[in-house]
Amino acid sequence: MLKLIAQRFLSDTPAFFKKLRATGAAIFLGAMAVKTGNDQFALDLAPVVIVVCNYAMAIGIALAGTAQLTTTDNKLSQQ
């Protein structure tokens, strides 16, 4: 199972999913920037903002990860 995941991760990704991967990374990095800025510069943001950033980071990782595992290789897609 891990070998299959590694093969899918390293195989070619369709163009649409490359855009989704970039979007997921942007969501993650934006949320991480807000959270890091709050910690480093003592911005004292509302707790709800930090919670939203945590969820946005999780969504970004999930979106980028699943988009990366999408492949154009039909042999891998069938497994």
The full 3-state SS of 16-74, as one line of letters, equals HHHHHHHHHHHHHHHHHHHHHHHHHHCCCCCHHHHHHHHHHHHHHHHHHHHHHCCCCCH
Domain ranges of the chain: 2-78
Between residues 52 and 71, the one the model is more confident about: 52
Q: What is the pLDDT of residue 1?
A: 87
Inform me whether the pLDDT recorded for 6 exceeds 80: yes
d(CA 44, CA 59): 24
Q: State pTM to two decimals.
A: 0.87
The two tokens of residue 65 are 């990860």
pLDDT in tens, 22-50: 999 999 999 999 999 999 999 999 999 99
Inform me whether the pLDDT recorded for 61 exceeds 90: yes
d(CA 17, CA 11): 13
Inform me whether the pLDDT recorded for 78 exceeds 80: no
